[in-house]
Amino acid sequence: MAVLDTLRAADMASSVEWCEARPASRAALERVHSARYLDTLERVAGHGGGMLDADTVMSADSWEAAVAAAGVAIGAVERAVATGSAFAAARPPGHHALAAHAMGFCLINNVVVAARQAQQLDKPRVLIVDWDVHHGNGTQALVERDPSIRYVSMHQYPWYPGTGGADERGVGNVFNVPRPPGLPREVYVRDLLAAVDAALVGWPPDLLLVSAGFDSLAGDPLGGFTLEPDDMARWTTTWRERVAPAPVVGVLEGGYRLDLLAAGARAHVRALA
């Protein structure tokens, strides 16, 4: 509710047009995840929930929430293709989810589901930029053999989930920026801008997806980065200019202090608008 409340504030009315998405179809989910895995998630929820791994738990409503979140990401892509930009305000997050395994609070990889939907809409080259403080291991694993998608991630390293080394390049489509905690915020801003510039060399994308994790803001209890909401606004504005006329979509990932989550989402959405 923190994100929704801040985006419903009176001074955001001129920047935000609300659209309600449909739950993701089974076909859209199966472009990314195995049918057996999806059946397992639905079955666990149907039995009232349960533990999937050490830190990922399902309740009776988690399957419905996850399918809805993936649908919001798809809807944001469809909206951005029509209007230029959109933000998917949805939880649970997705960037740790693998093809057949949940982890890190993530059940369905929303951003990759959204990327595959974009490709169905004649947007064949998709750039994903992930500024969540944790490496999006699931996203990388799902796209690292596919040259039609490029993945850029800046994340705290070493940190959960332990992946995301700079030498992990996929088929030349992965650009990891592992960084320690506590650096001056301008270092993080500069280094992610440089990585995105490298990914764009000779490769103009048809759509940009941002895995917008606000746990990289200074003060989040699960990270040690020093970023401020203005830095995310700067990134968003810069990339809108650099990938134009390609649409830009933000997809909510992590963020575990509600005031920071709200402030980050607000800054990002203002820049998208």
Q: Are 265 and 155 in contact (CB under 8 A)?
A: no
Report, as ranges of residue numbers, the positions in the chain whose pLDDT lies below 50: none
Q: Which of 74, 102, 83 is nearest to 209 (CA)?
A: 74
3-state secondary structure of 123: coil
How far is CA 125 from each of CA 46, 99, 143, 225, rounded to the nearest angstrom?
Answer: 37, 21, 12, 30
Tell me, what's the pLDDT at 143?
A: 98
* pTM (2 d.p.): 0.98
Question: How many other β-carbons are positioned within 10 Å of the β-carbon of residue 173?
Answer: 21
Q: How many domains does the chain have?
A: 1
Q: Are 156 and 224 in contact (CB under 8 A)?
A: yes
125 is in which domain, residue-wise?
Answer: 2-272
CATH code, domain carrying 143: 3.40.800.20
| Token digits of residue 184 | 């001056």
To the nearest 10 degrees (0 to 180), the angle between helices 185-200 and 229-243 is 20
| Token digits of residue 147 | 């040259």
| Token digits of residue 197 | 């510039």
Which secondary-structure segment (H or E) carries 49?
A: strand 49-53
Tell me, what's the pLDDT at 1?
A: 85
Q: Which of 79, 78, 70 is nearest to 27 (CA)?
A: 70
Catalytic residues: 96
Tens-digit pLDDT profile for residues 185-242: 999 999 999 999 999 999 999 999 999 999 999 999 999 999 999 999 999 999 999 9
How far is CA 9 from each of CA 116, 157, 265, rounded to the nearest angstrom?
Answer: 33, 36, 13
In 91-242, the DSSP E strands lie at 126-130, 149-156, 174-179, 207-212
